[in-house]
């Protein structure tokens, strides 16, 4: 059934396979149920890949359902962005797009049904009073006098709640379960509250809105969901989830299963904190390339393939886990190494003059677009007497093991010639501003005529055959692996060097017309792509997606 890639089993896969094998279910139906109150992030990607992936692998289907039960926090903007991000990740819900709000009438009827059964009642205590009645983790709650209100009275009150007879907060509908339950969720949870706010999907049709607990399971049931997969913190809600399904005439009984949410190092994932980063101007927006949002990593240049590979690689379990962000970066490298054409670019230019090269001469060298993939073709790059090399590739007094350019030794200019450094010109501060060298005319193309081995190869760009471009380098948003650690203010761990803008990098000519759909490897530097928002025709602004692995600077 599945392809050659052996997907290692996880506990959810096992449950589904068993259910299929035992005939408990003829087909699998899952759902991804975001609340449209913010943008999706990499943690959601894990859930999306899980839900859609599990359904896909078992020939079932996965629904996209908006859990839009709280109009005070939800917006159309988020609905659209979420749809866009799920599609970008590569998943298709087909015709199965749902909104919990489309079920409001049925949910309302079911709420009346519970009242009639004596299993729900209208409460007039304030939020604070309800809290005080709830008890604590170790002490049982106390029943409110509303609990024994006659059914007809609750029914009348509930209908008046719907009919807009009360202001926000004046009444709620509660389930009548057990104020002494050790599970706080069962201490007569609130089912409906009054909110006077326009709803992003159903407009002003309602004044009362169901709580998550009253909407989620029933919506699952109405959609015929077989496996309702959510994160661990909802485990305590499962008895409530089941209570509704057992006490209401629902068409089927989905089962809830929980998995551990994704935690990524050097970032934050809570919607509240992401909102704060955006609203405080710490980042430029939800799609800032440093953000863990899907719109952010998309703009940065990560591919959906890489994100999916990441979700596959990290696995699924029930123990709290912290995934190192370098695993995500490695997935991006693996994907881009295969498909990104190579190019030459110098980020921090240092002029190199080849003294014995004819003043006005220009040569063209052939450069492979991918060293392992001749089918990706080649291009020509212009070479002349004055070129730019990377500042990091020159050291007047090199550390041990350095085999780039240094006075007296030879180095290869990729695809061009072998040169020997003859000297350096420095400014008053002692910084190299111009390096001089002589080339070996017999090494045209980069290979020595006598077969001598040249250890170092550096990249370059011809001074008069290059364009200037802005290049943006991104680093982790936080300097601590876990900015949430110990309840401290995560903002104190902000990495103030998380973005570096290089205003005048030198790029080989062909890059002037680079399109934001292209992702390139700048040889020896990393993977880059033109920023889709800030690039202009003929004037790209490049984002560094991720660096190349570097065994040298690591030492």
Partner RNA sequence: UGGGGUAUAGCCAAACGGUAAGGCAACGGCCUCUGACGCCGUCAUCUCUUGGUUCGAAUCCAGGUACCCCAGCCA
Catalytic residues: 35, 261, 271
Question: Please, what is the minimum distance in Å from the beta carbon of residue 341 to RNA?
Answer: 9
Closer residue to RNA (CB): 27 or 239: 239
Distance CA(434)–CA(37), nearest Å, equals 54
Closer residue to RNA (CB): 135 or 224: 135
Closer residue to RNA (CB): 52 or 417: 417
DSSP string, 24-55: S-SS-EEEE---SSS--BHHHHHHHHHHHHHH
Question: Please, what is the minimum distance in Å from the beta carbon of residue 15 to RNA?
Answer: 9
Who's near 24: CB < 8 A, 6+ residues apart?
18
Closer residue to RNA (CB): 28 or 520: 520
Q: In this structure, what token pair is assigned to residue 185?
A: 């969720």
Q: In this structure, what token pair is assigned to residue 466?
A: 């290059």
Question: Please, what is the minimum distance in Å from the beta carbon of residue 119 to RNA?
Answer: 18
DSSP string, 494-526: B-TTSEEEEEEEEEEGGGGG--TT--EEETTTE
Task: Please name every residue paired with 526 in a beta bridge, in sequence order, or none if there are none.
Answer: 522, 547
Question: Please, what is the minimum distance in Å from the beta carbon of residue 150 to RNA?
Answer: 20
Which of 373, 349, 362 lies closest to 464 in space, CA to CA?
A: 362
Q: In this structure, what token pair is assigned to residue 363?
A: 């040569």
Closer residue to RNA (CB): 249 or 451: 451
Which of 347, 351, 380, 344 lies closest to 460 in space, CA to CA?
A: 344
Closer residue to RNA (CB): 13 or 436: 13
Task: Please name every residue paired with 436 in a beta bridge, in sequence order, or none if there are none.
Answer: 353, 423
Question: Please, what is the minimum distance in Å from the beta carbon of residue 539 to RNA?
Answer: 25
Question: Please, what is the minimum distance in Å from the beta carbon of residue 325 to RNA?
Answer: 10
Percent composition of the chain: helix, strand, coil (DSSP 3-state, to 5)? 30, 25, 45
- In 20-171, where do the E strands start and end? 29-32, 61-66, 97-99, 120-123
Q: Report CA-CA distances (Å) from 421 to 45, 351, 426, 455.
A: 50, 12, 15, 14
């Amino acid at each position: 059934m599945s392809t050659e890639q052996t997907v290692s089993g996880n506990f959810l896969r096992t449950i589904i396979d068993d259910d299929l094998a035992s005939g408990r279910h003829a087909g699998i139906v899952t759902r991804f149920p975001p609340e449209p109150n913010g943008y999706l992030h990499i943690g959601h990607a894990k859930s999306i890949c899980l839900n859609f992936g599990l359904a896909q692998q078992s020939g079932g289907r996965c629904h996209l359902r908006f859990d839009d039960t709280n109009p005070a926090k939800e917006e159309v903007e988020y609905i659209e962005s979420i749809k866009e991000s799920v599609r970008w990740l590569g998943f298709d819900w087909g015709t199965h797009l749902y909104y919990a709000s489309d079920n409001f009438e049925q949910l309302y009827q079911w709420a009346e049904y519970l009242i009639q059964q004596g299993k729900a009642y209208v409460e007039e205590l304030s939020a604070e009073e309800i809290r005080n009645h709830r008890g604590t983790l170790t002490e049982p709650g106390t029943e409110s006098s509303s609990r024994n209100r006659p059914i007809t009275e609750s029914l009348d009150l509930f209908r008046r709640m719907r009919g807009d007879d009360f202001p926000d907060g004046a009444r709620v509908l509660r389930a009548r379960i057990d104020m002494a339950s050790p599970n706080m969720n069962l201490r007569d949870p609130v089912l409906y509250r009054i909110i006077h706010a326009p709803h992003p999907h159903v407009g002003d049709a309602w004044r009362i809105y169901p709580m998550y607990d009253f909407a989620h399971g029933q919506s699952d049931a109405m959609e015929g969901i077989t496996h309702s997969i959510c994160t661990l913190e909802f485990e305590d809600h499962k008895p409530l989830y089941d209570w509704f399904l057992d006490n209401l005439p629902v068409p089927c009984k989905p089962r809830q299963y929980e998995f551990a949410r994704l935690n990524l190092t050097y970032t934050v994932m809570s919607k509240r904190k992401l909102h704060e980063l955006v609203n405080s101007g710490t980042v430029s927006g939800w799609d800032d390339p440093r953000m863990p949002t899907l719109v952010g990593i998309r703009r940065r240049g990560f591919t959906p393939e890489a994100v999916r590979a990441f979700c596959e690689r990290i696995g699924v379990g029930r123990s709290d886990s912290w995934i190192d962000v370098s695993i995500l970066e490695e997935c991006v490298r693996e994907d881009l190494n295969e498909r990104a054409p190579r190019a030459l670019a110098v980020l921090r230019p240092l002029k190199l003059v080849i003294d014995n090269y004819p003043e006005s001469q220009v040569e063209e060298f052939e450069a492979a677009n991918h060293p392992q993939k001749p089918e990706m073709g080649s291009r020509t790059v212009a070479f002349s007497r004055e070129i730019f090399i990377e500042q990091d590739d020159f050291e007047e007094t090199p550390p041990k093991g350095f085999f780039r350019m240094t006075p007296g030794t030879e180095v290869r200019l990729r695809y061009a010639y072998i040169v020997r450094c003859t000297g350096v010109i420095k400014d008053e501060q002692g910084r190299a501003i111009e390096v001089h060298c002589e080339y070996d005319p017999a090494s045209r193309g980069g290979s020595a005529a006598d077969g001598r081995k040249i250890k170092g190869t550096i990249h370059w760009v011809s001074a008069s055959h290059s364009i200037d471009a802005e290049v943006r380098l991104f680093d982790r948003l936080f300097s601590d692996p876990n900015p949430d650690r110990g309840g401290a203010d995560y903002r104190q761990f902000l990495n103030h060097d998380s973005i570096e803008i290089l205003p005048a990098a030198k790029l080989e000519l062909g890059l002037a017309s680079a399109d934001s759909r292209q992702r390139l490897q700048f040889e020896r530097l990393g993977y880059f792509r033109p920023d889709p928002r800030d690039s202009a025709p003929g004037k790209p602004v490049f984002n560094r997606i991720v660096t190349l692995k570097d065994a040298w600077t690591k030492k």
